[in-house]
Amino acid sequence: MGDAVELEAGGRTVRLSSPDKIFFPERGFTKLDLARYYQAVAPGILRALRDRPTTLERYPDGVTGENFFQKRAPKNMPDWIPTAHITFPSGRSADEMCPTEEAAVLWAAQYGTLTFHPWPVRRDDVDRPDELRIDLDPQPGTDYDDAVRAAHELRAVLEEFGGLRGWPKTSGGRGLHVFVPIEPRWTFTQVRRAAIAVGREMERRMPDHVTIKWWKEERGERIFIDYNQTARDRTIASAYSVRPRPHAPVSAPLRWEEVGEAHPQDFDIATMPARFAELGDVHADMDDHAFSLDALLDLARRDEHDHGLGDLPYPPEYPKMPGEPKRVQPSRARKPGPTAP
C-alpha cells in the first residue's frame, strides 16, 4: 500500500500511513486522495468545525468496508487537539474532539474519517447552540429539485421572521441543508422549537410540497423538514465533508444564486478543490453574523396559543420530554374502545 507520506497543514506535519489503500473503488480514489482533498479545502472545513465538538464517521477500509461513528475522543489523539465535555440525552457524557487547526482534519483522515459531524455549539458553551440547522430531506417520490423549491421558500420565511439569513449547502445526497448562525442565547429545546415553527410555516405555504410529519407513513411525496436534527446530540454533516457513497461526493456550500443551478453530482473530491481554489469558501462570512430567534419563538407561541400546536415527537432513543405528544406511529396507536352503555 506504499510507504507512509507526510502532509503539511497549518505548520504541522501529519503522517499518513498506507496512502495507496483504495477508499472509493468505483472511482479508484485512495486514502491519499482523501487526505489531499481535505488539505485542499482545509480553511473551509476548519471554518465549519472550529471549536465544535465533532463526531467522526470512520471507514478505516474505505467506503465498502465496515464503518462506525466515533463520539469519544480517541486515546491516541494528539494533545494539540482540544476536547469539550458534552452530555447526551441519556445523561451519559463524553469528551469529543474540537478541531482548532487544519492539521486536525488531516489527522482524522489518517484514521479513515470520511464525514465530520459537528455539534451546533462551541466548546466554550456546549449547551447553547450558535446555529439553527434546517434539513430539507427528500422523501420517496421527490428529488433534489423538490428540495430546491422548498429552499427558496425557506429563504423567504427566514427573512420574514426576524430578518434571518441562511447559508445553503448540498447534503452530498439528494437533499439540502440551510444553516443560520444565531446568538448562543437559547437551549437545544428552544432552538428545536424554532425549527418546528419554521417547518409549520413552510407547511402552511407549501402543504402539498413540504411536511414536518415525524412518522414516515404520514409524509407522502413531500420534502421532510427534519426538525429533530436540532435536538441535542443530533448532528448534520459539515460543509466540505466527504459522504460515504461510491462516487465520493461532498457536502458543498452554495451561494443562493447557485441553488437550482448547481447539482449534488457536480461536487466530489476531484472537483471541489478546483472550485475552492477559484472561489474560496463561499460561506466564509457566516461567523460574521449572529441572528436572533425571538421572531420564530414568538411564532411558536402563537402556533400553540391560537392553534393548539405544541411539541412534536422526539427520536425513539430520547427520554420522554415535557409536553411531548405520544411517541407512537398513528397506524399503531390504540383506538378508543366502545363506550359502555
What pLDDT sits at residue 179?
98
Take residue 298 and report the three cell numbers written for it. Answer: 414568538
What pLDDT sits at residue 278?
98
What pLDDT sits at residue 48?
98
Beta-strand pair 54-58/68-70: antiparallel
Query: How buried is residue 216: exposed, middle or buried, by Cβ count under 10 Å (0-12/13-18/19+)?
Result: exposed
DSSP state of 109: H
198: Cβ–Cβ under 8 A, 6 or more apart, which residues?
A: 134, 154, 157, 158, 161, 225, 227, 296
| Phi then psi dihedrals of residue 88, to 5 deg | -90, 165
The residue whose grid cell reads 414536518 is 212
Nearest of 199, 189, 191, 151 to residue 303 by alpha carbon: 199
What pLDDT sits at residue 335?
61
What pLDDT sits at residue 245?
97
Separation of alpha carbons 143 and 205, rounded Å: 19
What pLDDT sits at residue 326?
86
Beta-strand pair 223-225/210-211: parallel
The residue whose grid cell reads 432552538 is 191
| CB 16, CB 7: distance < 8 Å | yes
Digit-by-digit pLDDT tens for the chain (341 residues) are 678 999 999 899 999 999 999 999 999 999 999 999 999 999 999 999 999 999 999 999 999 999 999 999 999 999 999 999 999 999 999 999 999 999 999 999 999 999 999 999 999 999 999 999 999 999 999 999 999 999 999 999 999 999 999 999 999 999 999 999 999 999 999 999 999 999 999 999 999 999 999 999 999 999 999 999 999 999 999 999 999 999 999 999 999 999 999 999 999 999 999 999 999 999 999 999 999 999 999 999 999 999 999 999 999 999 998 889 988 888 887 665 555 55
Half-sphere exposure of 37 (CA within 13 A, CB side): 28
According to DSSP, the residues that pair with 176 across neighbouring strands are 136, 170
Nearest of 119, 134, 128 to residue 53 by alpha carbon: 119
Separation of alpha carbons 39 and 22, rounded Å: 18
